[in-house]
Amino acid sequence: MERTYKLIQESGFWPNNEYAVNQASFGFISAPSTAGTVTQRSEICSCREVFGEQLQEQLDKHENLKIPVKHVRLLLYTRTAASGKDTTDAARRKFFENVKTSVNAVNILERKYKWRLTRVYPLVNEKCTKALMCMVVGPNNWIRSPHMQSMYCLILRAAKTEPFEGIKTYANLMAACKKHVSKGFNDSGYIRDTYEYWGPIMMNFKNLFLNLSMTVNYSRSTYGGERVYHEGIRCLVQGGTNNKELKARFKKYCKDGK
């Protein structure tokens, strides 16, 4: 049985019962204390790319958000009233099982490419009674750049139900992605345009990011002074990124060598 952690609200940040979102959203949280509490370290975002700006603000030293970067530690959240669900124990269990399904999809990739495995834990906040939430902890490969963070959040949000339920292999995952695209969900376009490159990106991770630190990959100077709100996984795959070095490496190792 997974340990349940308690979310502590940072002053000025969500959560509250008025924050309404129609899809799973993301926030950064601290490492747990010995008492089993975690502290929110960022605003919550439903847009995967805008979410990356939180790390940019910290790494560019514009804000001291104290987001941990040794591992990726995410809050996954949805407000039940916005999705028509209730807050019964059954709904919470269903939400947690859905997230475990998406984490399984992530784990399939991580096992194939010998990364440390992502884990998911129940999370509660006594002030936010209308929310379903959990904590996801994974290797910091997933936040090495805004594009990796976008890919991670895409899988975590999109792969939570059928056709991803019960999959066990990489071939199962690729087949599920094809079926998901045909269903036309909100994230389906991003899956359609990127899923064939998930494997090549992870296989060539060291070549892609050698000497490209997180600080470089989130720095405004790398993107011509711009923020990273559009620097998602599809932007990288389609050649639109302003990270010129990463763009060239992706073409060499993942596109030309695919």
pLDDT digits (tens, 9 = 90+) for 110-131: 999 999 999 999 998 887 777 7
pLDDT for res 145: 97
Give the structural domain span for 57: 5-255
Per-residue pLDDT band for 132 (boundaries 50, 70, 90) equals confident
Number of domains in the chain: 1
pLDDT digits (tens, 9 = 90+) for 18-59: 444 556 889 999 999 999 999 999 888 888 888 888 899 888
pTM of the predicted model, to two decimals?
0.92
Beta-bridge mates of residue 128: none
What is the rounded CA–CA span in Å between residue 29 and residue 65?
A: 10
